[in-house]
Structure 1
């Protein structure tokens, strides 16, 4: 996706402690029975070959990236070939793909991609009440890569300058955000996942707006021109709010939002929903002029994150068992290319 959103699970399990467990010592061991080690005794947690909370496309459109159960996976778009960076994970990818963000306790650490060389550490989210795993719940880069934001379980949000690591703004939200998304110009930061959608000024952290009636799903995206924000409305229905007042102008009824992405031209929204294997392409009438919805069918498992190619001609979606699929946006048809799926622990 165009965003760099929170990775709730950093191995093959959905962890209840947000981004906890980013360090290698905390990575759960795969369980051939379909769960992961280190979980609650007697409980079964879902195993994911490919994690579904985030997917990113390189600036040149030639590679796709997502976390897998045993490391960072990247795919060659032309061939579908998988390259694995083992024993690493990420919570956000820099827009230029030069670095990835990882977490270490309450710190956010930038590492080179793919060499893993440490670049810079950002501090300020330590939480004495978190003794196992990390308190960090969400991390995001600004579209120009100059700013980095992160949130903690106590609701604290910090915005830093990537160049020198200086803290630019800090504030405490009403809840622990699961998603942070910068506006296209980097001047605003939207928060979601745990309470009403909030919009903050990145220069000083001051509140710009609280979106009344918004849901608590952790999915958000700005339209490319910054004139509207898309996220969970009442009942987590996908909703468009127009800036600067952030009043609702359109919704996609009958859908419980899971993940979303907005096309580079701002006319098409890709939406995944809970309890369905279909990906929807939605054209809001309020912004695109001519509305409509198409369903993209082909995933075996329920898809999560979605991301458009930089030129907008392709859409990529990711599901836990069948991995990455590519779609032709104009026709809505699957691209006739197979993306390799990483081997599971019992293969």
Structure 2
């Protein structure tokens, strides 16, 4: 964790307020002790230190630590060896844990307190699962056996010894009268291995049926509420049977990309959905009524080890060797939980919906689902190439690698409309007044869209290749584009009203250098273009002439001005440093914190904070004036884009994966903003629908009339804009 720098930032701000140095040191010591306790997973100790801190001095660092205490309610180190799996009793405050040394332990579920333990399957117990009535415990292990136990005493009731090799999984039938266990037989001839599932009587241990499934080991089994039996195989497939039929009803090929051996499988409580995950780091869900693929979840950075549905079948938890748990939903963004160090071996929901997990470091962790504070990725079909908020903050635009343009409602936290352009858009932007959305695309065309209804306005075709860099002058209507054809084009807003071919105000195409980026001075009519010399060139917008230029340290991947225009900030994909230059080309300061190149720079609306990201997965907030690191957030993927909401309190972060994230970006805190669905429409949307019934051919006139007459409040107007965009793009008729 690198949050300690965040805590120290808060303390330094207290010093600046000229408070008592002794009192500050006392508060700092207690906050530091609480943070140290958190680092060592001593939640109660952390709460004790927080309770003794001075209430008058509590600020964001106190709030942040308090939230962590609520997220991870407790983490108990119960063994010095890895923990494999866990199971909640169906109706008692009890859970069972399978140990990596062959033991089974029984615990009080509410506290984690151990009641008893015994040696079950030396050298390794894979699973321990309660019977449907809670009377017995079923386990399987590397000793080639599955066993039934009286969990209240640890007494062995029955052993099943019908397998020749390790038994990775054994499960109860819904009625509890049958047990299915899996293993494999070695053959003397190719393919040398035969995977088998044995069905046997829980009462007598007598085998009743043998199912064969491929030539690779079966890793896990699941038995659904309607009697279907499912197996996850290392042969990159999943099988589903309706016993006693020995032929599978469904066989799903799980190979999508890379090695897709399956490790874990589970049914939803009603048996209608089946989920499997494995070595391709993904989770796939199938509909058991017709065998169709229902959903595919991606995001883990390592193998999926275990799966569990919540009691209501609405959420699916996955445990991974990447040391995280992900909570997947079919209607909401996913949530990532970071537990104690070590691969997460097992995850389970209690009958009441409480989440618990066990890990390779021997820790049992409980999670409070009501207080989770973590990054919530919003899933998209393709990686987000561009992110931008409307200047008024009423919505955001997310552009994807395949040319999709998605409209995101930051209040309802959902997409409400979309459109499509022919190719990727790397740098979407709004004109300074928010009237037009500019989409410089991979086809070399700037697609201009009405920002209030989503209707296309004009296509500006000038570049011969894609447009990776684009900028808008915040003081006026000018914008500039740099294409892969090495042309720089500067555009005037008058081009939108011109008839015929649309040409830029002026353009350049140098022969001896290559342009790599562009930005505007925040207040003066000056354009700055980066080149591969490496250097920057200052161009006067009035005369179209170069007024000065200077060289920089590394080839520039991103550049921007400070809010006062006194500093030019540059970053490079080949250099971990960020450089701040004055207008003469003198290096003023560097920002040191990244371990690899920096591909994204973003300035907060108040101009005080700089945010940077890159392939080292680090998102860093800087104090622009001092160069001090304010906040640090470790992401899971290469950070490609970031955009502040105009209020400066929120930001979107895009990574090179099909998802983006929303951060609470207030100056002294990174929290997580919970994703919720909006309910219903407000009066503004209803008013707009009534006005649109006039059949006015230009709906924007209606909106402008509302603004001019002050007919709608800002909140109602914002809702009206979003509703109008959605309806226009969907082609609905009011």
TM-score, normalised by the number of residues in structure 2: 0.35
What is residue 603 of structure 2 aligned with on the other side? 262
Paired residues, number: 285
What is residue 273 of structure 1 aligned with on the other side? 614
Q: Deviations over 1:251-278 (max 9, x none)?
A: 11253211011122222100112222x3
2:560 is the counterpart of 1:228 = no
What is residue 66 of structure 1 aligned with on the other side? 398
Distance in 2 between the 1:68 and 1:123 partners? Answer: 21
Distance in 2 between the 1:223 and 1:262 partners? Answer: 8
2:436 is the counterpart of 1:98 = yes
Q: Report if aligned partners of 1:257, 1:274 keep a CA contact under 8 Å in 2.
A: yes
What is residue 214 of structure 1 aligned with on the other side? 553
Tell me by how many angstroms 1:179 deviates: 2.4
Q: Report if aligned partners of 1:169, 1:203 keep a CA contact under 8 Å in 2.
A: no
Distance in 2 between the 1:332 and 1:159 partners? Answer: 39
Choose from 432, 437, 448 the match for 1:110. Answer: 448
More helix as a share of residues:
2
* Max Rg structure: 2
2:536 is the counterpart of 1:198 = yes
**For the aligned residues, what is the CA RMSD?**
3.2
Structure 1: segments with no counterpart, 5+ residues: 1-31, 36-47, 127-133, 341-347
Q: Report if aligned partners of 1:122, 1:160 keep a CA contact under 8 Å in 2.
A: no
* Structure 2 CA distance for partners of 1:64 and 1:111, relative to 1, 3 Å: closer
Tell me by how many angstroms 1:296 deviates: 3.5
2:408 is the counterpart of 1:75 = yes
Tell me by how many angstroms 1:157 deviates: 1.0
Tell me by how many angstroms 1:106 deviates: 4.6
Structure 2: segments with no counterpart, 5+ residues: 1-254, 259-379, 496-501, 678-734
- 2:647 is paired with a residue whose SS is coil
TM-score, normalised by the number of residues in structure 1: 0.70
After TM superposition, the structure 1 = structure 2 runs for residues 323-342 of structure 1, keeping only pairs within 5 Å, are 323-338=660-675
- Of structures 1 and 2, the one scoring higher in RCO (CA 8 A, sep 6+) is 1
Tell me by how many angstroms 1:51 deviates: 3.5
After TM superposition, the structure 1 = structure 2 runs for residues 128-277 of structure 1, keeping only pairs within 5 Å, are 134-144=465-475, 146-164=477-495, 167-173=504-510, 174-185=512-523, 187-192=525-530, 194-201=532-539, 202-232=541-571, 235=575, 237-243=577-583, 245-255=584-594, 256-276=597-617
Q: Report if aligned partners of 2:590, 2:627 keep a CA contact under 8 Å in 1.
A: no
* Structure 2 CA distance for partners of 1:97 and 1:299, relative to 1, 3 Å: farther
What is residue 54 of structure 1 aligned with on the other side? 386
Q: Report if aligned partners of 1:109, 1:118 keep a CA contact under 8 Å in 2.
A: yes
* Structure 2 CA distance for partners of 1:306 and 1:105, relative to 1, 3 Å: closer
- 2:672 is paired with a residue whose SS is coil
Q: Deviations over 1:197-232 (max 9, x none)?
A: 423322333223333233223211111121111112
- 2:515 is paired with a residue whose SS is coil
Distance in 1 between the 2:257 and 2:517 partners? Answer: 28
Choose from 285, 292, 299 the match for 2:635. Answer: 299
- 2:575 is paired with a residue whose SS is helix
Distance in 1 between the 2:545 and 2:439 partners? Answer: 25
Q: Report if aligned partners of 1:193, 1:219 keep a CA contact under 8 Å in 2.
A: no
Distance in 1 between the 2:534 and 2:636 partners? Answer: 32
Distance in 2 between the 1:50 and 1:248 partners? Answer: 39
Distance in 2 between the 1:270 and 1:227 partners? Answer: 18
What is residue 318 of structure 1 aligned with on the other side? 654
